[in-house]
Homo-oligomer: A and B are copies of this chain.
Amino acid sequence: MEERQRVRRPGGRSARVAAEVHQAVTELVGERGYGAFSVRDVAARAGVADSSIYRRWGNLENLLADVVLTRLNARSPMPDTGSLAGDLRTYAANVAREITGPDGPVLLHLAIALSKTGQQGVRAGEGLRAERTRQLQSMLDRASERGEDAPDAFAVLDHVLAPMYIRVLFGMGPLTPEYIDGLVDRLLSVPGEGCRARRA
């Protein structure tokens, strides 16, 4: 019985409902902004019952986190080009394309909005970041296994993702390939712990 189903069937009705609900959320965030709509609004827009959303996602925050996670991660698989510089450049270009695409600013605002919605939102946001960090770390681990000197995932967040996010969020011009590659090159040019360690 549909009410008790716990395992999702890929490609079936369950997947169609998820796609419709995700699209409804993206549209509502874009039109009204975060915090200005309810599960009921999402259900009405997607043409599904409120109960379908609660059954599957539990609450609005989990649904929003799932939308952001799916759009900012799963749609952009981690590259495997054979070199760390190649992987990071491709990864950064993929992220840039996502956040400068039609839904990108909405998704970024949503990721940020989740962090200020109390415990449920914070937990959902943490889940989102943990998943992204895990995917990124697997790419960095491959580089280490090849003998390359890889930065940690937080350095990638701070020095490749954060500058791109902030420039998009502040509406500061396009993210050119030169700019994106420059962020990656700079990250990889920092020697170990940086010049403090080398001076010591």
Contact = CB atoms under 8 A, between A and B. Distances in A.
Contacts of A170: 111-112, 115, 125, 129
B195 A188 contact: yes
Contacts of A182: 194
Nearest to A122: B171
Contacts of A158: 159, 162-163, 166-167, 183
Given A162-B165, A163-B162, A171 B33 contact: no
A18 interface: no
A182 to B, nearest CB: 8
A189 B196 contact: yes
A36 interface: yes
A157 interface: yes
Main secondary structure of the interface of A (DSSP, over half): helix
B161 A166 contact: yes
B169 A115 contact: yes
Across the A-B interface, give the 8 residue pairs with the lowest CB-CB distance, nearest first: A115-B171, A189-B195, A195-B195, A158-B163, A189-B194, A162-B166, A162-B162, A112-B169
Interface of A: 33-36, 105, 109, 111-112, 115-116, 122, 125, 129, 157-159, 161-163, 165-167, 169-172, 182-183, 185-186, 188-191, 194-196, 198-199
